Every structure is written in C-alpha cells, then in structure tokens.
Amino acid sequence: MKKKIILVMILNLFNIKNSFNQQANTQMLTFFIRPFLGKDTKSGEKISKKLKIPGKTTETLTKQMFKDLYNTGIFTSYMGNSSISDINGQIKFLRKKKSDVVDIVISLNVKPVFMVSNTIHHFSLSKIEEAKWYRFEKIFNKKTKEYSWKVIEKKITNKNLPADILLISSKPSSIFIQTGTFPSDDDPNLKLPDIYAKKGISTALNAVKFLKIKKYFSPIKSDYKFDTQGYQEILV
C-alpha cells in the first residue's frame, strides 16, 4: 500500500513538473523590428500628397509597403535557436530563462570558439569596435504597481559573449535602439520595446555573414493549437 502511495506521489510530482515545463515552453520572447523613419520628412510629405489623389491610395500604400520591407529578413539568434524577422518585422523566440533581463548584441562579426573537436564553448566578437550591446530589463514599481522596460547601452569590454545573448546579425550603424524607460505589463511573455532598422540596411550581406554560424543554431518553428475560442501559436 505504501509503495502505491509513493508511486502515485511521484507520478503527481512528475505531472506537475511536466505541466510547468509545457507552460514555460509556450512563453515567448518577442519584439518587432520597425522601419526607422528618423528625420526623413520629405518622403512622408510626398506620400501624403499622393494619398489625396483619387485612385492613388491603394497603389501608393502598396508601393510604400514593399519599399519599407527592409525590416524583414533580418537574422537573429538566441540560446541555441535562430529566427528571422517576418513580413511584419517580428522576431520570436522561446523564453528559456526566468530572468526579466535580455541582453542584445548587434554585430556581423561573430565567430564560434571551440572547446574540443566540434564542441562550441562560446561565441566571440571579432572586433569590439564593430559591435553594440544593449540591456533590456523589465522592472516592477512597487509604488505605482506598474511594469516598465529600462533600456541602456552597455560598454563592451570583452570579446567573449555569454550563452544567453540575443544576437542581431547586422552592422550596428544599421540598427537603432532607443534607450530610456518604456511601459510594459505583467505578461509572462517578454515583449521588448520596438527596435528599428535603418534605410539602406543590407539584409543580403547580413544573411551571408550569418550563414557562417547558422549551422550552430536550430531554426524556430511555429505550431498552432486550436480550441473553441480560436488558436494559440506555439514555438517549437
């Protein structure tokens, strides 16, 4: 009898742990890469004028949409996985740690450092001066009961990158990250503030550079779980 009780307890503990892991695996780390408008007001004025011409609305918006697709096709990697920004500029990863801190490095020159044979110990920057490092930290204010993201730029003092770094494969000059404080919520999914791709970013060159290390990462894939209220996207 005691053996049966112990066995049932072990099975229950296993099911609770398994349920927790399944729930954790559905949580995401995500953000959008938006087209950086900056001070380009002339193009905005031209578009506004065209939109006032009868019959030009759909044509103008369609052309502008495809013209601004330089925020798509940007390669990224995070804790063993790779992802590429979709047509909306969205990047999705599985949330793999409890910490509300996300470190992002922007660089085209990253190389693997091997421990023995084909076992990678870590990744390293070829040149510190050709990279930028930003830290995103989700903070809860006990007085206001509100969540926010604090974004700062960090000085790079070491070429070696930690295992939990999120890499954006691009020249730092082609990506804009706004530092400061931004509103957030208590969602367990980490939804970072928007990141911006500047006009002229070479997604083709970035892709070629990333291909050198792409084989060391597993691509993120989406699956969908349907229920009576709709569907839920699950990353695998």
For residue 225, tell me if it sits in a domain. Answer: no
Whether 70 shows a pLDDT value over 50: the answer reads yes
pLDDT confidence bin for 107, thresholds 50/70/90: very high
Residue indicated by tokens 């023995």: 116
Q: Which residue has the higher pLDDT, 234 or 97?
A: 97
User: Helices 41-51 & 57-67, crossing angle to 10 degrees?
Assistant: 150
d(CA 89, CA 201) in angstroms, rounded, equals 14
What is the reported pLDDT for 232?
Answer: 63
> Is residue 121 within 8 Å of 114, Cβ to Cβ?
yes
The whole domain housing 82 covers 30-219
Whether 204 shows a pLDDT value over 70: the answer reads yes
Whether 50 shows a pLDDT value over 60: the answer reads no
The strand pairing partners of 120, in sequence order, are: 114
Q: Measured between alpha carbons, how far is residue 142 from residues 21, 32, 122, 139, 145 in Å? A: 29, 28, 37, 10, 5
d(CA 108, CA 50) in angstroms, rounded, equals 38
For residue 1, tell me if it sits in a domain. Answer: no
For residue 93, tell me if it sits in a domain. Answer: yes
Whether 113 shows a pLDDT value over 60: the answer reads yes
For residue 123, tell me if it sits in a domain. Answer: yes
For the segment 133-178, what is each residue's pLDDT rounded down to a tens digit? 999 999 999 999 999 999 999 999 999 999 999 999 999 999 999 9
d(CA 26, CA 18) in angstroms, rounded, equals 13
For residue 224, tell me if it sits in a domain. Answer: no
d(CA 65, CA 51) in angstroms, rounded, equals 14
For residue 235, tell me if it sits in a domain. Answer: no
Q: Stretch 18-35: mean pLDDT, rounded?
A: 71
Q: Looking at the 3D structure of the chain, how many domains does it have? A: 1
What is the reported pLDDT for 67?
Answer: 55
What is the reported pLDDT for 119?
Answer: 86
User: Is the full-model pTM beyond 0.95?
Assistant: no
For residue 167, tell me if it sits in a domain. Answer: yes
The token duo for 126 is 């070829």
Q: Stretch 75-95: mean pLDDT, rounded?
A: 95
For residue 22, tell me if it sits in a domain. Answer: no
pLDDT confidence bin for 29, thresholds 50/70/90: very high
Whether 58 shows a pLDDT value over 70: the answer reads no
